[in-house]
Amino acid sequence: MFIGDVVGTPGLKMVDLWLKSFIKKHDVDFVVCNGENAHHGKGMSLEALNQLVAAGVNVVTGGNHTWSNFNFFDTLKTHPQVLRPLNYPKGTYGKGYGIYKLPNGLGDIAVVNLQGRTFMYSIDCPFRTADWVIKQIREQNKDSVKFIFVDFHAEATAEKIALGWYLDGRVSAVIGTHTHVQTADERILPKGTGYCSDAGMTGPHNSVIGMQIKSATDRMLYQTPHKYECAEDDVHFAAVLLSLDHSTGKTVGIERIFYPEYDRGVV
Amino acid sequence: MFIGDVVGTPGLKMVDLWLKSFIKKHDVDFVVCNGENAHHGKGMSLEALNQLVAAGVNVVTGGNHTWSNFNFFDTLKTHPQVLRPLNYPKGTYGKGYGIYKLPNGLGDIAVVNLQGRTFMYSIDCPFRTADWVIKQIREQNKDSVKFIFVDFHAEATAEKIALGWYLDGRVSAVIGTHTHVQTADERILPKGTGYCSDAGMTGPHNSVIGMQIKSATDRMLYQTPHKYECAEDDVHFAAVLLSLDHSTGKTVGIERIFYPEYDRGVV
Amino acid sequence: MFIGDVVGTPGLKMVDLWLKSFIKKHDVDFVVCNGENAHHGKGMSLEALNQLVAAGVNVVTGGNHTWSNFNFFDTLKTHPQVLRPLNYPKGTYGKGYGIYKLPNGLGDIAVVNLQGRTFMYSIDCPFRTADWVIKQIREQNKDSVKFIFVDFHAEATAEKIALGWYLDGRVSAVIGTHTHVQTADERILPKGTGYCSDAGMTGPHNSVIGMQIKSATDRMLYQTPHKYECAEDDVHFAAVLLSLDHSTGKTVGIERIFYPEYDRGVV
Amino acid sequence: MFIGDVVGTPGLKMVDLWLKSFIKKHDVDFVVCNGENAHHGKGMSLEALNQLVAAGVNVVTGGNHTWSNFNFFDTLKTHPQVLRPLNYPKGTYGKGYGIYKLPNGLGDIAVVNLQGRTFMYSIDCPFRTADWVIKQIREQNKDSVKFIFVDFHAEATAEKIALGWYLDGRVSAVIGTHTHVQTADERILPKGTGYCSDAGMTGPHNSVIGMQIKSATDRMLYQTPHKYECAEDDVHFAAVLLSLDHSTGKTVGIERIFYPEYDRGVV
Ligand SMILES: [Fe+2]
Ligand SMILES: [Fe+2]
Ligand SMILES: [Fe+2]
Ligand SMILES: [Fe+2]
Ligand SMILES: [Fe+2]
Ligand SMILES: [Fe+2]
Ligand SMILES: [Fe+2]
Ligand SMILES: [Fe+2]
């Protein structure tokens, strides 16, 4: 199961409240969660990380906001359950992938965090970095790693979809984050890779991607800085649920979760 | 009903094949369709416009690619059923909104086309332009216009959602286009405006947002120009269906359409 | 005389030390100075403004960093000698142009501050805003305003040069700021407008545009946030000196000032 | 001697007319010239390359527009005197540095072409690529290479200056291109590297960076595509002249050339 960007205290509370029952209900073996906005909407903190882990999250991935909280850097360097995008240049704190043991003798899963470049920072190529890391994983863990999961933190749909096709058949799934809007394009690509452009935001939806509506609108209206304030209301849980085949490592089922549903009336 | 970006000849054929039966099945009164990529994936043409109209589309909206085909400019200036984003600066060809008669004495509907600025061109403010056009419509068409529909062609989810909140209660619906990926956030905002960040792409999905996979991936791998070639396979129909209340002009039902469904296996 | 971006305390000290002697030596009637980086390299403050005025500056213009120091907003709203770019959207604090009395019965001078949009914020069109303000000034101050001076704060050379040509013959001079590098293209355009793409930086040049070298290089190497620290050494004074014709309002002489000169050796 | 971006046929003619006399007058040993706009203002061609070589140019460097003319790719792959930015990703056509014999037994010179990323394409890191190539050159050509010259094709002044400081003492000179405006910051950095942010444009200056004024202004006014048309009038020759010390490989003199001078009147 992959949980989209958890935003601020409201998002953390939602995970705390709902995750365990989801895990039980859907018999989930492993939970990855993007946490780049968990610390009051901007960056990560050790406290937020601990809350996510306590709630049942196995690995917390990051993104461009991973670097927003200078106090988190020590944890980033050493904590085994936290990742930042792998394709940040050499010399950056933290690690970009990890190999984790699954329960019930299911073998290991590699979790890879990558970040896009279109409309974002000029970091290393996510495509070539993906090639490198897959080779790395395959060579060093011949038999144990059964699954490779990729969180691709990116803005442009073209870049996300391109990476999905690029890795089709080579990884278990590529799920996007960063736009904070869940996309309806979850699918199994022809060679067996699960794909969804964005898992969406677990956090306050009475907001503009997690930020209070007035601050966000003022930024656009005046094009000047307005204080970031995390929103609070209308909290939803957004995630993507994957069924992976143990013998092939491929996705055999993919389903979006968005709870509770928005009001959609009747057509 | 609003149909997302129709891409190339495959998209046009799909509309031609399916639209009439959808209209019948769902008893649709009015069809708006974004056509900025209808002409071989880039821009519009009179021919494509005629095909869309013949298939049952009432109004064709545009976006940043509206200007890609110089040969279309004469049609853009004069054809009553084609729009381009209203907030392009004064002096730009074409018109950005229109008022159209609904069938069965349902009154008139105003269709407004706006474009975002984040990661796009520095055109006029979409928020202030929306204020202006709503005032315009209300003052000049006091009684006849029952509904206002907005196609917001934009890249950033924050800008799209901000406009949704900004116009909540003032227009019937704000539906986004441009990313070519349908989002799962269709909802009725608290004051009655229907909202969805992106209606998605009606066109070939064995592609990167409509473009052949290899060209798109090569652009990202090498950061050099590679010929745009429209993809051809796996054509899907993407749209958003709205039920509007005749007395209030508000949305009472919103539903995404994506046909046929992607392969999602079983979770 | 127009002084380029004054950066931090070192820049302020340089102005304090040298401006009065420059004014005397070159018999300068009026001094405009860009101060967007005067407050420790980021934004403005009342204290920095007072120092500039005490040193002989008549008007302090701004730019994108004007909004960096929230504490300055009250001064920005009320102080007659401080400007921010005029083409920020309606509702923004402060004013974008002013009319000032010249000494010795030379009449009035209008100072206009504009900002570019290429690679910067999506504010109002600088070209159309220039048209508007020139009309404004001409209509409301028929006889008194003899000169119009424009500080165009912009990144892209194309946008700067385009505005120079656009205003040629309609204003006394268009001088650019923001890149912090003085350009060697000072010239009198065919219809009499003085032009220079950038006046350069009055501040510490043992730096990357005013910032400490290591922080700046680290930002580029790692693409992560690194604290902004204002540099201190190798302070230079950068300005453009203009001779304007009293009867036509046009530029009859333009000269770059950069003091002291860099080390250039002997070719 | 390094000649800034040569634009179109007017630029080529200027080089043809003036270069040989400059070479003679200043006793120039080696001529590098940026040619990314030599082919009608966009890209390169074999014909333009031949004209530059015939006029006395030893090496032609490139930039983002190198890829604008598809017909040039064969020449780019094979011609020894043409370079493109070295830090384009692996797999890109052409080469990014070369080692050339100087006349009169002066040894060899390495010419390196790099491109910036701020406001440009997300290619490989220019700083790390510079480290790599310097090591390469030093290891493989221990004794013969006396000088290393870098053409840094970049938009942002911060990135250019940062590379200058980064390479100070390690290369003979870093000269910028791409903005088409000559900067007045030519200097010898403390450890002996010659530096200038931009060599400027050799081409028609009755233009917006080489493009006809009306097309350029229309693009900004309307934010829609307008045909690129190369300007023709007011051709100037822009270059940077360097004196290098044979024993240390460092710059001992740096001088801008801009011929003929602009009209500057008298202050
Ligand atoms: Fe996020
Ligand atoms: Fe993010
Ligand atoms: Fe589109
Ligand atoms: Fe678009
Ligand atoms: Fe500045
Ligand atoms: Fe600035
Ligand atoms: Fe160029
Ligand atoms: Fe260039």
Chain D residues whose CB is inside 8 A of the A125 CB are: 89, 122, 124
DSSP-derived 3-state class of residue A87: coil
* Residue B216 and residue A158 in contact, taking contact as beta carbons nearer than 8 Å: yes
Ligand nearest to the CA of C63: 6
Which residues in chain C have Cβ-Cβ distances shorter than 8 Å to D199? none
Q: Does the pLDDT of residue C26 top 80, yes or no?
A: yes
pLDDT classification of D2: cutoffs 50, 70, 90: confident
Asked if B222 is an interface residue toward chain A (Cβ–Cβ < 8 A), one would say no
User: CB-based burial of residue B145 (10 Å sphere; 0-12 exposed, 13-18 middle, 19+ buried)?
Assistant: middle
- Secondary structure string (H, E, C) spanning chain B: CEECCECHHHHHHHHHHHHHHHHHHHCCCCCEEECCCCCCCCCCCHHHHHHHHHHCCCEEECCHHHHHCHHHHHHHHHCCCECCCCCCCCCCCCCCEEEEECCCCCCEEEEEEEECCCCCCCCCCHHHHHHHHHHHHHHHCCCCEEEEEEEEECCCHHHHHHHHHHHECCECEEEEECCCCCECCCEECCCCCEEECCCCCEEECCCECCECHHHHHHHHHHCCCCCCCECCCCEEEEEEEEEECCCCCCEEEEEEEEECCCCCECC
Calculate mean pLDDT across residues B258-264.
95
- Computed from CA positions of residues A36, A42, A44, A46, in that sequence, does the dihedral angle turn out positive or negative? negative
Chain B residues whose beta carbon lies within 8 Å of the beta carbon of residue C122: 117-118, 122-123, 125
Asked if D67 lies within 8 A of B224 by C-beta distance, the reply is yes
B164 alpha carbon – ligand 4 mean position (Å): 18
Please pick, among A65, A79, A205, A236, the residue that the annotation labels catalytic.
A65
Establish, for the pair of chains B and C, how many residue pairs have beta carbons separated by less than 8 Å.
Answer: 18
Three-state SS string across chain C, please?
Answer: CEECCECHHHHHHHHHHHHHHHHHHHCCCCCEEECCCCCCCCCCCHHHHHHHHHCCCCEEECCHHHHHCHHHHHHHHHCCCECCCCCCCCCCCCCCEEEEECCCCCCEEEEEEEECCCCCCCCCCHHHHHHHHHHHHHHHCCCCEEEEEEEEECCCHHHHHHHHHHHCCCCCEEEEECCCCCECCCEECCCCCEEECCCCCEEECCCECCECHHHHHHHHHHCCCCCCCECCCCEEEEEEEEEECCCCCCEEEEEEEEECCCCCECC
Answer whether B89 sits within 8 Å of D122, measured CB to CB: no
- Give the number of other Cβ atoms within 10 Å of residue D191's Cβ: 11
Task: Give the gap in angstroms from C-alpha D72 to the nearest C-alpha of chain A.
Answer: 26
Confidence class for position C181, pLDDT limits 50, 70, 90: very high
Query: Quick check: C185 pLDDT over 80?
Result: yes
Q: Tell me, what's the ipTM?
A: 0.95
- Chain D residue with the nearest C-alpha to that of B68: D225
Q: Closest by alpha carbon to C152, among C183, C192, C191, C108?
A: C183
Q: Can you give the pLDDT at residue C97?
A: 98
Q: How many C-beta atoms lie closer than 10 Å to residue C34's C-beta?
A: 30
**Per-residue tokens: A126:** 């996510």
Residue A166 host element (H or E)? helix A157-167
**Smallest-distance ligand from the CA of D38:** 7
Kindly report the average pLDDT of chain B as a whole number.
95
d(CA C159, CA D16): 30
The pLDDT score that the predictor gives to residue C103 is: 92
D118, D122, D123, D155: best to mutate for the A interface, most A CBs within 10 A? D122
Task: Specify the pLDDT at position A25.
Answer: 92
Q: Is pLDDT at D250 greater than 90 in this prediction?
A: yes
- The size of chain C, in residues, is 267
Q: Tell me the pLDDT tens digit for each residue of D24-49.
A: 999 999 999 999 999 999 999 999 99
* Contact check, Cβ <8 Å, B254/A243: no
Per-residue DSSP letters for D1-49? -EE--B-HHHHHHHHHHHHHHHHHHHT-S--EEE-TTTTTTSS--HHHH
Q: In what order do the strands lie in the sheet with C173-177?
A: C97-101, C108-115, C145-153, C173-177, C194-196, C187-188
Mutate which of A182, A186, A264 to disrupt the B interface (most B C-beta within 10 Å)? Answer: A264
Q: What pLDDT does B267 receive?
A: 87
The secondary structure of residue D102, as a DSSP letter, is P
The residues of C annotated with a catalytic role in the active site are 65
Instruction: Scan residues 63-102 of B and list those with Cβ closer than 8 Å to C.
Output: 89-90
**What is this structure's pTM?**
0.96
Beta carbons of C267 and D243 less than 8 Å apart: yes
Residue D185 annotated as part of some ligand binding site: no
Of chain B, the end-to-end C-alpha distance in Å amounts to 31
Q: Does the pLDDT value for residue D210 go beyond 80?
A: yes
Q: Would you say B115 and B87 are in contact if contact means Cβ atoms under 8 Å apart?
A: yes
The reply to whether residue C217 touches residue D165, judged by beta carbons under 8 angstroms, is: yes
**Mean pLDDT, range A230-237, rounded to an integer:** 94
| Cβ of residue C187 closer than 8 Å to a chain D Cβ | yes
Chains with ≥3 CB–CB distances under 8 Å to D: A, B, C
Confidence at residue D34, expressed as pLDDT on a 0 to 100 scale: 97
Q: What is the mean pLDDT of residues C26-49?
A: 95
C20: Cα separation from own chain's centroid: 18
The rounded Å distance from CA B179 to ligand 3 centre is 7
Contact state of C216 with D26 under an 8 Å Cβ cutoff? no
Q: For residues D257 and D241, is the Cβ–Cβ distance under 8 A?
A: yes
Residue D264: closest C-alpha in chain C: C187
Active-site annotation holds for A65: yes
Query: What is the C-alpha to C-alpha distance for residues B85 and B160, in angstroms, rounded to an integer?
Result: 14
Cβ contact D92–B222 (<8 Å)? yes
Domains of chain C: 2-205+232-259 (3.60.21.10)
Contact flag A117-D118 (C-beta cutoff 8 Å): no
Residue D177 contacts residue D200 (beta carbons within 8 Å): no
- pLDDT higher than threshold 90 for residue C138: yes
Distance from CA of C179 to the nearest CA of D (A): 6
Could you tell me if A256 lies within 8 Å of chain B, comparing CB atoms?
A: yes
Residues of B in Cβ contact (< 8 Å) with D89: 221-223
Residues B223, D121: C-beta atoms closer than 8 Å: yes
* Orientation angle between helical segments A157-167 and A126-140, nearest 10 degrees: 30
Shortest CA gap D61–chain C (Å): 21
At A254, is the secondary structure helix, strand, or coil? strand
Q: Which of A91, A223, A225 sits opposite C123 (nearest CB)?
A: A223
Q: Which amino acid is at B57?
A: V
Question: How high is the pLDDT of residue A228?
Answer: 87
Q: Give the mean model confidence (pLDDT) for residues A100-111.
A: 94
Hey, what are B151's tokens? 């196609």
Q: Which of A121, A123, A222 sits opposite C91 (nearest CB)?
A: A222
Which contiguous run of DSSP H or E holds residue A14? helix A8-26
How much of chain D exceeds pLDDT 90, in percent?
Answer: 94
Instruction: Return the partners of chain C (3 or more C-beta pairs < 8 Å).
Output: A, B, D
Q: How far is it, in rounded angstroms, from Cα C56 to Cα C63?
A: 21
Whether residue D185 and residue C209 make contact (CB cut-off 8 A), yes or no, is: no
Chain D residues in contact with B89 by the CB 8 A cut-off are: 221-223
Q: How far does residue D107's CA lie from ligand 1's centre (Å)?
A: 55
Residues measured by CB to lie within 5 Å of ligand 7, the ion: D 5, 36-37
- Report whether C134 contacts C170 (CB < 8 A): yes
Q: E strands within chain A?
A: 2-3, 32-34, 59-61, 97-101, 108-115, 145-153, 173-177, 187-188, 194-196, 203-204, 235-244, 251-259
Contact between B223 and D122 using a beta-carbon 8 Å cutoff: yes
- D108 known member of a binding site: no
Model confidence over A55-100: pLDDT tens digits?
A: 999 999 999 999 999 899 999 999 999 999 999 999 999 999 999 9
C143 pLDDT more than 90: no
CB B146 within 8 A of CB B171: no
Backbone dihedral angles phi then psi of residue D81, each to the nearest 5 degrees: -100, 10
Contact, D206 vs D234, CB < 8 A? yes
Closest CA to A35 of A59, A16, A10, A14: A59
Distance CA B238, CA D79 (A): 49
Nearest CA in chain C to D220: C159
On the question of pLDDT at D219 being above 80, the answer is yes
**Rounded Cα–Cα distance for residues B111 and D261 (Å):** 56
Any CB–CB contact under 8 A between A255 and chain B?
A: yes
Average pLDDT estimate for B32-37? 96
Binning pLDDT at 50, 70 and 90, where does residue C228 land? Answer: confident
Selected catalytic residue, list B39, B65, B205, B236: B65
pLDDT in tens, C38-60: 999 999 999 999 999 999 999 99
Residue given tokens 């059923």 in the structure block: B81
Under an 8 A CB cutoff, do C182 and D182 touch? no
| Token pair for B25 | 């099945």
Three-state SS at A137:
helix
Q: Give the residue on D whose Cα is nearest the Cα of A89.
A: D125
Inform me whether the C-beta atom of residue D119 falls under 8 Å from chain B C-beta atoms: no
Angle at A68 between CA A63 and CA A74, to 5 degrees: 90
Mutate to test the interface with A, among C214, C223, C228 (most CBs of A within 10 A): C223
- Among residues A7, A10, A76, A16, the alpha carbon closest in space to that of A42 is found at A7
Q: Which residues of A are annotated as a binding site for Fe cation?
A: 5, 36-37, 64, 153, 178, 180
**Ligand index nearest the alpha carbon of residue D7:** 7
Across the A:B interface, residue pairs with CB atoms under 8 Å apart total 152
Q: Alpha-carbon distance A226 to C121, whole Å?
A: 14
**How many percent of chain B have pLDDT more than 70?**
100
The rounded Å distance from CA C146 to ligand 8 centre is 40
The pLDDT tens digits for B118-176 are 999 999 999 999 999 999 999 987 789 999 999 999 999 999 999 999 999 999 999 99
User: Residue D209 above 80 pLDDT?
Assistant: yes
Tens of pLDDT, residue by residue over D71-129, are 999 999 999 999 999 999 999 999 999 999 999 889 999 999 999 999 999 999 999 99
